[in-house]
Structure 1
Amino acid sequence: MANIKVRFDATQQQVSAGDGTWLPLAFVAIHDDPDRPVRVLVEVEVDPGSGRPRARSVVVEGRGTYEVTSRDLRAPVATIVQEALPVAADSGPLRPAGELRDPPSWGTPRPMHTNVKRRLVADSARRQYLTEADLAEVARVYVEALQEGRPTAAAVAQARGVEEGTARNLVRRARQVGLLTQTADRQAGGELTVRARELLGMDEEGNA
């Protein structure tokens, strides 16, 4: 399997795999094949007691307007993790599996990797697996902020615990699935649709 990348915080400790290689305690393995309509992100944690990696979460993202199908969700997670190991690994002294050490380049990411916050994966998971009811709640927060003259992205971000860029994507998804009315030329605005009010348990006047 080609097109495997990894992301991790280069300042975190490394754990010995027992064979002269050292792995970050946590990293994201990414299968990003430009010939496929989706990319797969696997959040991996390495057990500090045994040095064994284990997948903790999986996110399947569609490219552009592609809608992810159940077939896409059957991602080869184990293969992605195994092929990401040599990419994430650092060389070092031969030590027992599970032993920890500070990274040799403390605080300085190596060029082959990207220093990222693990919450990016959490944001992706929230974006990918929100239910219709969740998106209705996103629409409600957006409309309330709009009516009160507050920054809409900040309001949604605070309500969902995500970055503002992710919040804007959530609002766009709520609009795409028919929970927010459309606006001209992608302008801010819109109202809750009948379907959104049903999901939120509201009457026609918007009262819960």
Structure 2
Amino acid sequence: MFGDSLVDVGNNNFLSDSMLKADLPYNGIDFPTGKATGRFSNGKNAADFLAEKVGLPTAPPYLALVTSDSQRKLNDSTNAMVTGVSFASGGAGILNGTNEAFEPIPLTQQVEYYSIVHNQLVQEVGLACANTHLAKSLFVIVIGSNDLLTYFDKDSQVSKQYTPRQYVDLMASTLKQLMKVAPMVRRWETIVRVWGINPAPPDLL
């Protein structure tokens, strides 16, 4: 799971310098535990509902699984890698400069984290088994709205550099390039089953 606050299940709570955290009591008031979980919601979010739909547990936040050792190994790595990991971060965008002052995990870093998990999976089960597993996996990307909000902010500098169409084209080309460098099985177009760029009103484009 890659994306922003619509599917962040707690990664931002592990970012010590980030101002974008969902750790206040009302953030989890309607969650089954009644406590804040790092979701930017009063209860479950889109990641939870999708997991329920396909009959899997919600993928845990990547940063909750990472230990402090230099090799960045995952605790309980086998279960996490088999059932899924979430790299989503509230405030993140396709472009690195989006919400940079608030220090979310940009999509480029999320892809790097995925590369770590991919390599760990190969070490655990071997390349052939890893490829077979990933070929049957569901990759979800929910991102883009923060980039658009940044563009249309009244103090935006990027709106002075690009027309709306040029900016959207930049978002699309950047996303395509990131997916090409990710170590997925076969070509990325055949692996990404669901590709969601958060919508914006047509009159903004």
TM-score by length of 2: 0.26
More strand by share: 1
TM-score by length of 1: 0.26
